[in-house]
A and B are shown apart, each in its own frame.
Chain A
Amino acid sequence: MAWIQKPTCTITFTFLDVSGSKGAMSLDLPAATLPSNAIVAALRAAIENVTDCAIVSYSLAYTSIDNAAPVPGAGSRVERKGAFKYLTEAGKTVTYNVPSVAATIVLPTGMIDTSDAGVIAFNTAMTALSGFCDSNGSDLTSFVTAYEVFRRTSKNQSAV
C-alpha cells in the first residue's frame, strides 16, 4: 500500500443561472493550495466578474490514490456494513457505515465484537482528540455501539 497524493487539488465552483439550473466549473491548483490561501478568494472574485451566473458554493478536494491497492478479501461485499455509532461532544449520536465490515469481527448476534483489537484501534482513531467529528463540527467523544447492517450501495454486478 502506498498512498500517492495527486499533484493538484481541484476547486469546483457551483453556478446558478436565471433558469434555476446549476452547473459546475472545476480548476486544478497546486496540491499545496489551502482553502485559506488568498489565491482562492481572488480566483472566486475574478470568476464572479466574468459570469452572469451566481456562485452558490465552491469546494476544494485533495485526492490520494493507492498505487498498489491490496486485493479485496475473499467474499467481501460492500453491501454488508458495520454501523458504528458514536456520541459527539454536543451529546448527539452519529453513525458511520463501514462497507464490507470484516467477517471475523461480527458476532453470531449480529453485533460487532468491540473487544477485537482492530475495532478498538478503529474506535480510538475515530474518537481521538480533534480526529473526527460530525457534520456540525462537534468532536466524536465516545463509542456507543456497532452492529452489522445490509444496505445496497452499488448497482447489481456479477461477482465473476
Chain B
Amino acid sequence: MYIPRTPSLTITLVDSSKSSTRVSFHTPEIYTGAQHALINSLPTDAAITKQIASQVFINMSLPTGNGNGENKLILVFETATIDQYVLVCVPAPNQIIVNDVENNNFDIELTSFINTLINSNICNPYGYTATVFLSAHLAVASF
C-alpha cells in the first residue's frame, strides 16, 4: 500500500554572488502549475529561477528487495520525431526478463511491460512521446 505524503513546492533562488539555494513549502494539494501568488509575494532580494511541485508516495509494506540494483535493463524507444528517443532504465530486471533480452526472444512479461510504457505515454524530457519500441539492452551501472 502506498501512502501519499504531503505535497511540497520547492523554489530555487539565486543571489548576487550566484549562490543558489532552495526552500520548500508544503501544500494541501499538488500544484501542477505555477504558484504565482506565493512566488510574487516572497519577500526576498534573490531571484527566483525555478519551482518544482512534487508529491511522494511511500510503500508502507516495508518491502525487502532482491537482486542487484546495479544490473540494469535499458529500453530504447523511438518517437514520432526524428532524432528524439526515449530511454528507460530499470534496476535489477528479473531472470525472466534477462533471459528474454539475452535470447532476443521476448515473452509476454517483457512485451507487456513495453506495451504498458508506450500506453502510459512516457516521453523524453522535451515532451516527445515514445511510439515504437526499438531495442533492449542489459548493462551494469552503479546507482
In the complex, which residues 105-160 of chain A have their Cβ closer than 8 Å to any Cβ of chain B? 105, 112, 116, 118-119, 121-122, 124-126, 128, 130-137, 139, 153-155, 157-159
Chain B CB within 10 Å, residue with most, of A5, A21, A135: A21
A137 cross-chain contacts in B, Cβ below 8 A? 6, 26, 28
Query: Could you tell me if B67 and A52 are in contact, using CB atoms closer than 8 angstroms?
Result: yes
Query: Could you tell me if A25 and B91 are in contact, using CB atoms closer than 8 angstroms?
Result: yes
Residue B110 interfacial (CB < 8 Å):
yes
Q: Chain A nearest CB: distance from B26 CB in Å?
A: 5
Q: Chain B nearest CB: distance from A130 CB in Å?
A: 5
Query: Could you tell me if A66 and B44 are in contact, using CB atoms closer than 8 angstroms?
Result: no
Interface digits, B1-43 against A, CB 8 Å rule (1 contact, 0 not)? 0101110000001111111110101111111111011110111
Cα of A89 to Cα of B68 in the assembled complex, Å? 45
Cα of A59 to Cα of B30 in the assembled complex, Å? 11
In the complex, which residues 88-103 of chain B have their Cβ closer than 8 Å to any Cβ of chain A? 88-95, 97
Secondary structure dominating the interface of B: mixed
Q: Which of A15, A61, A99, A158 contacts B17 (CB 8 A)?
A: A158
Secondary structure dominating the interface of A: mixed
Cα of A46 to Cα of B94 in the assembled complex, Å? 12
Tell me how many residue pairs across A and B have CB atoms closer than 8 Å: 298
Query: Could you tell me if B27 and A99 are in contact, using CB atoms closer than 8 angstroms?
Result: no
Q: Range of interface residues on chain B?
A: 35 or more
Cα of A77 to Cα of B46 in the assembled complex, Å? 7
A98 cross-chain contacts in B, Cβ below 8 A? 23, 42-44
Given contacts A35-B55, A137-B6, contact A73 B120 (CB under 8 A): no
Query: Could you tell me if A54 and B69 are in contact, using CB atoms closer than 8 angstroms?
Result: no
Q: Which of B16, B69, B110 contacts A23 (CB 8 A)?
A: B69
Contact sample, A vs B, 30 pairs, CB 8 Å cutoff? A7-B126, A22-B143, A25-B90, A27-B122, A28-B124, A29-B123, A31-B127, A42-B116, A43-B120, A50-B73, A50-B90, A53-B91, A58-B56, A63-B51, A64-B52, A66-B48, A69-B14, A73-B46, A76-B45, A96-B25, A98-B44, A99-B21, A100-B13, A122-B42, A131-B28, A132-B26, A133-B26, A134-B26, A139-B28, A154-B19
List the interface of chain A (C-beta within 8 A of B): 3, 5-10, 15-25, 27-35, 39, 42-44, 46-47, 49-66, 69-79, 82, 96-103, 105, 112, 116, 118-119, 121-122, 124-126, 128, 130-137, 139, 153-155, 157-159
